[in-house]
Amino acid sequence: MDRYSTSPNPKRFYRSRDKVIGGVCAGLADRMGWDRTLTRVAAAVLFFSGVFSGALFLAYLVLWVITPMQPYRPANLTPDEEQFWRDVSDRPSATVGNVKYRFRDLDDRLASLEKTVTSDEWRLRRQFRDLEGS
């Protein structure tokens, strides 16, 4: 995987766009790798059991307010399109920085290749290879 094009934190916690109330339970399930339905049922059971209802309600409200909504990602994507959307950053400064480092890396690789191809050692090896082939 290309280290310059990936998001700085691909497992960031977002509120899900596939929401029932606020998207907090679905976002938490996505972040932790849990089933969304089971997470919602567990939250409802804890809330209605009365044990943690006040704290759970307050925590849900706080998370609803402070957690950003999940960036838009179209559904039914091909694997190439999915990779593209995974690589897109929502912060323009990070995206510009990624492009800058990608071009710098390509420039370094091209300079290394040019140095190798124009070296006397490479020419000598090519001449030996040509002699062995004839």
Q: Alpha-carbon distance 36 to 25, whole Å?
A: 7
CA distances from 33 to 2, 11, 36, 76 (A): 23, 10, 9, 20
Question: What digits encode the pLDDT tens for the residues 73-107?
Answer: 667 778 887 777 666 655 666 677 778 888 999 99
- CA-based radius of gyration for the chain: 26
Question: What digits encode the pLDDT tens for the residues 25-73?
Answer: 888 888 888 888 898 899 888 888 877 778 888 888 898 898 888 777 6
